[in-house]
Amino acid sequence: MKRLSEILPMHEVLEVFNFEGDLIVKGITDDSRKVEPGFLFIARRGYTFDGDAFIGDAIRKGAVAILRESPLAKDLPCPQVRVKNIRKALGEIALNFYERPEKELILIGITGTNGKSSTSFFLKSLLERLNQRAGYIGTLFYEIGERIPAKETTPSILEIAPLLKRALLEQLKYVIMETSSHALDQDRIYPLKFQVLAFTNLSRDHLDYHKDIEAYFSAKKKLFTDYSKNGAKAIISLETDYGKVLYNELIKMGYFKREDIFLVNDEGVRVKILERTPGLKLKIETPRGIYEVVTHLFGDYQAKNVATLWGCALALGFKDEEIAHALEGLTNPPGRLELCGKKRGAFIFVDYAHTPDALENALKSLLPFKRGRLITLFGCGGNRDPGKRPLMGKVAGTLSDLVILTSDNPRYEDPLKIIEDIKTGLNGTKPYFCIPDRRSALEVAVKSLREGDILLIAGKGHETYQEIEGKRYPFSDQEEVKKILEELEKNAG
Ligand SMILES: CC(=O)N[C@H]1[C@@H](OP(=O)(O)OP(=O)(O)OC[C@H]2O[C@@H](n3ccc(=O)[nH]c3=O)[C@H](O)[C@@H]2O)O[C@H](CO)[C@@H](O)[C@@H]1O[C@H](C)C(=O)N[C@@H](C)C(=O)N[C@H](CCC(=O)O)C(=O)O
Ligand SMILES: Nc1ncnc2c1ncn2[C@@H]1O[C@H](COP(=O)(O)OP(=O)(O)OP(=O)(O)O)[C@@H](O)[C@H]1O
Ligand SMILES: N[C@H](CCC[C@H](N)C(=O)O)C(=O)O
Ligand SMILES: [Mg+2]
């Protein structure tokens, strides 16, 4: 509960109406469906709806004041405040309501096309192995003390603010946040400031939203230009050319001094794979020394994420030796080249590859273990960048021996149309089946496995649902594989 005057950022206020003295606000929301008596309703325009349309509804549910960007309606019974920028006002209000918890935390922001969740997950584990208390907000889940399911990769500040408050109550020192390009573009994280910021890589994704790769890159760049704290450290991975571009631009524009940027992957921290046991045995070269570490990590692409992780840990003040030691205990995040079953000499992996680059990296990680066929089962999400579909088809066709095309999260699109889009990239180079029902596709794939084969089930990783026409149905690749294997075993026995 707060007084409105305590939480309103006065520099954003343009005019007020029907406002006598002050008033008490019991909660804040920008969703009329969540309004309770005593709440401040923040009416904002989105991509689908205009919050103004729900003001009447919010008042009926007991909203005591309305915050808006549009002209005030003098016929409304409720106090109204008009602000210059609703996004910015919303961010300030959310953090003020929870008493600016971010000021007492060290925030680490990680962006890039692939590897955000992996690097964040590793960093949280690493910090914990170094006896530090850390939280995480990202695709896998939100874990601030307790673990709760994630909605978006980077949720609204209205969700982040209470999580940060909770972080203080849990006596956490660090909060690691994945910052997606959508969130950066929409300023969902305004006005947070990060102490450590990392860029993993950039490749094709989300062009349905950003339209072209330059706009997508600009959104990622915003983390460094708009959301860095004074004296912040940046970790830039050079695994894609965009790393160097980002580095040059940040220096040229004066956002960072050279000494505050840690370059990793082929400059600064370099990580080489010495052996796959199958856990990665890594050689880490830094300007100060060379370290050999035997890890439990699986998947060659994780070596690149380890370099970014190392850079983050250095930026937080840890020493190479401590980092090397803590690295030994890390394990893969759920759904990232997760071994989810075995069938008489054949191995089944689940991976969250949902971009062409990720699929290529996941398949290349499995190639060294191939004794028979490499079979790839995947689909592409509906209402997401259709341009990546044929490219993923091409990667799968090039690197696997058999491809099984199925549905991912079709959302509001026709699954058959999505499969057709992927098929155009296959080029008829490799045999393939189209089985739109994912459960049936998994069954065919698992049943077809022969000694020495590897099956990669890509696209959904840790997800525990399948989204069809706005509804999320329980579905887990891992659980389905388990059931199919049990059934096969029962029938065999
Ligand atoms: C296109 C997009 O990014 N939309 C996000 C955006 O919604 P929006 O601003 O367009 O909102 P809207 O649905 O038009 O509604 C406008 C306003 O009306 C309100 N409203 C609406 C209906 C109603 O009955 N009453 C009501 O008050 C809404 O609460 C909102 O305040 O802001 C919301 C709050 O932050 C997000 O939940 C929402 O994510 C949608 C669900 C989404 O699917 N986003 C995806 C694309 C996304 O963000 N993905 C990224 C990257 C994934 C990755 O690569 O990892 C992520 O961070 O997850
Ligand atoms: N550094 C990397 N380079 C290329 N591909 C990678 C890299 N790291 C992970 N991948 C691939 O991307 C997939 C997703 O990895 P991860 O969840 O860590 O990325 P993310 O950036 O968090 O993705 P999202 O945008 O969905 O949140 C992995 O399953 C793997 O196939
Ligand atoms: N957060 C990403 C992940 C997509 C995962 C894939 N399973 C899909 O549904 O496309 C997105 O929203 O684009
Ligand atoms: Mg992620």
As for the ipTM of the complex, it is 0.97
Question: 206: pLDDT confidence band, cut at 50, 70 and 90?
Answer: confident
Residue 409 CB–ligand 3 contact under 6 Å: yes
Angle at 233 between CA 147 and CA 201, to 5 degrees: 70
Give residue-wise pLDDT tens across range 330-377.
999 999 999 999 998 999 999 999 999 999 999 999 999 999 999 999
Q: What is the pLDDT of residue 414?
A: 98
The pTM assigned to this predicted structure is: 0.96
Evaluate whether residue 129 is within a structural domain: yes
Q: What is the pLDDT of residue 258?
A: 96
Give residue-wise pLDDT tens across range 81-104.
999 999 999 999 999 999 999 999
Q: What is the pLDDT of residue 89?
A: 98
Q: What residue numbers does the annotated binding site for ATP cover?
A: 112-118
What is the domain-level CATH number for residue 417? 3.90.190.20
* Pair (208, 264) in one structural domain: yes
Give the number of domains in the chain.
3
CA of 164 to the centre of ligand 4 (A): 19
Q: Which residues pair with 324 in a beta bridge?
A: none
Give residue-wise pLDDT tens across range 288-325.
999 999 999 999 999 999 999 999 999 999 999 999 99
Residue 335 CB–ligand 3 contact under 6 Å: no
Give residue-wise pLDDT tens across range 428-461.
779 999 999 999 999 999 999 999 999 999 999 9
The rounded mean pLDDT for the chain is 96
Shortest-distance Cα residue to atom 17 of ligand 2: 117
Return the beta strands (E) in 115-265 as ranges: 134-137, 142-144, 146-148, 174-178, 194-199, 228-237, 261-264
Among 47, 354, 465, which residue has the most ligand 3 atoms within 8 Å of its CB, making it the best to mutate? 354
**pLDDT value at 427 more than 80:** no
Ligand 3 atom nearest to CA at 408: 7
CA 454 vs CA 114, 202, 372, 451: distances in Å: 23, 28, 7, 9
Question: What percent of the chain stands above pLDDT 70?
Answer: 100
Question: 19: pLDDT confidence band, cut at 50, 70 and 90?
Answer: confident
Residue 180 CB–ligand 1 contact under 6 Å: yes
- For residue 114, the ligand closest to its alpha carbon is 2
Evaluate whether residue 273 is within a structural domain: yes
Q: What is the pLDDT of residue 74?
A: 87
What is the domain-level CATH number for residue 49? 3.40.1390.10
CA of 115 to the centre of ligand 2 (A): 4
Of 34, 63, 97, the position where a domain reaches its end is: 97
Evaluate whether residue 42 is within a structural domain: yes
**pLDDT value at 395 more than 90:** yes
Ligand 3 atom nearest to CA at 205: 13
CA of 46 to the centre of ligand 1 (A): 7
* Pair (132, 275) in one structural domain: yes
Shortest-distance Cα residue to atom 8 of ligand 1: 46
Question: 27: pLDDT confidence band, cut at 50, 70 and 90?
Answer: very high
Pocket of ligand 2 (CB under 6 A): 112, 114-118, 139, 153, 178, 200-201, 239, 301, 304-305, 336, 351-353, 357-358, 361-362, 461
Distance from C-alpha of 32 to C-alpha of 29, rounded to nearest angstrom = 7
CA of 54 to the centre of ligand 1 (A): 16
* Pair (187, 214) in one structural domain: yes
CA of 138 to the centre of ligand 4 (A): 6
* Pair (241, 218) in one structural domain: yes
**pLDDT value at 122 more than 80:** yes
> How many helices, marked H, and strands, marked E, lie in the chain?
16, 26
CA of 458 to the centre of ligand 4 (A): 15
What is the domain-level CATH number for residue 221? 3.40.1190.10
Among 111, 118, 357, which residue has the most ligand 2 atoms within 8 Å of its CB, making it the best to mutate? 118
* Pair (30, 145) in one structural domain: no
Shortest-distance Cα residue to atom 52 of ligand 1: 153
Evaluate whether residue 391 is within a structural domain: yes
Evaluate whether residue 66 is within a structural domain: yes
Question: 378: pLDDT confidence band, cut at 50, 70 and 90?
Answer: very high
Residue 153 CB–ligand 1 contact under 6 Å: yes
**pLDDT value at 178 more than 80:** yes
Question: 21: pLDDT confidence band, cut at 50, 70 and 90?
Answer: confident
Ligand 2 atom nearest to CA at 118: 18
CA of 124 to the centre of ligand 4 (A): 14
Evaluate whether residue 333 is within a structural domain: no
Of 293, 327, 361, the position where a domain reaches its end is: 327
* Pair (67, 187) in one structural domain: no
Of 301, 327, 353, the position where a domain reaches its end is: 327
CA 123 vs CA 109, 127, 180, 341, 431: distances in Å: 11, 6, 17, 27, 40
Return the beta strands (E) in 399-453 as ranges: 402-405, 432-434
* Pair (134, 281) in one structural domain: yes
Residue 34 CB–ligand 1 contact under 6 Å: no
The two tokens of residue 263 are 């370059």
Q: Are 213 and 225 in contact (CB under 8 A)?
A: no
* Pair (51, 127) in one structural domain: no
- For residue 48, the ligand closest to its alpha carbon is 1
- For residue 113, the ligand closest to its alpha carbon is 2
* More confident position, 110 or 427: 110
Evaluate whether residue 60 is within a structural domain: yes
* Pair (120, 69) in one structural domain: no
* Pair (349, 315) in one structural domain: no
Q: What is the pLDDT of residue 237?
A: 98
* Pair (158, 285) in one structural domain: yes
Distance from C-alpha of 236 to C-alpha of 244, rounded to nearest angstrom = 8
Evaluate whether residue 11 is within a structural domain: yes
Q: Are 64 and 39 in contact (CB under 8 A)?
A: yes
Shortest-distance Cα residue to atom 12 of ligand 3: 384
* Pair (125, 34) in one structural domain: no
Helices (H), 44-175: 55-60, 86-97, 116-129, 157-169
Q: Which domain holds residue 456?
A: 338-492
Shortest-distance Cα residue to atom 3 of ligand 3: 354
Starting at the earlier edge strand, list the strands of the sheet with 174-178. Answer: 146-148, 142-144, 134-137, 174-178, 106-111, 194-199, 228-237, 261-264
Q: What is the pLDDT of residue 227?
A: 98
Contacts of 23 (CB under 8 A, 6+ apart): 3, 4, 64, 65, 79
